[in-house]
Amino acid sequence: MIFYKNARQLFWNFVSTKNKSCIYIQSKIMKTQTNNPIAFISKYLIPAASKETFLERQHIARAFIHTLDGFVHDHAYERITETGDTEYITVATWTSEEAVHNAREAVNAENLRTGFNRAEMLQRLNIKMEPGLFREDNA
């Protein structure tokens, strides 16, 4: 009978400890998911004749976002296609979705202040853009 009582107590201690560990791990996972940096990734298809103008503006935009709160880092990649056009990918990493939202507002305000119209430029230069927000897959 003493063995059974001790075994039962050991079992409940084990379950109790495991549940606390599971809850702790779950809370860490949830915090990690909500605190993970978020990447704003854009893919551009740029006609060869438009590349220089696009890159000039891109350098201005990248320098500006470097000054904003929540900015972590950015990277840009390019590939010349068989037709001579450029595929250009930018990855700007931010601390949170809130930081991305604030950055968008700041960029829009700066564009208004300077009279720059991004949509008009992309259309005029025949540049195609695919933007999106992405989180790192920690699987």
Any idea which architecture 36-135 has in CATH?
Answer: 2-Layer Sandwich (3.30)
Top-confidence residue, 88 or 4:
88
Q: What is the pLDDT of residue 16?
A: 56
Relative orientation angle of helices 97-114 and 51-65, to the nearest 10 degrees: 120
The dihedral sign for the CA sequence 121, 123, 129, 133:
positive
Q: Is the pLDDT of residue 139 over 60?
A: yes
CB neighbours (10 Å) of residue 94? Answer: 24
Average pLDDT value for residue range 124-133 = 97
Tens digits of per-residue pLDDT, 66-94?
999 999 999 999 999 999 999 999 999 99
Question: Exposure of 134 by Cβ count < 10 A (0-12 exposed, 13-18 middle, 19+ buried)?
Answer: exposed
When the pLDDT of each residue in the chain is averaged and rounded to a whole number, the result is 85
Contact 78, 42 (CB under 8 A): no
| Predicted pLDDT at 43 | 98
pLDDT digits (tens, 9 = 90+) for 16-52: 555 555 444 433 443 444 568 999 999 999 999 999 9
HSE toward the beta carbon, residue 127, CA cutoff 13 A: 28
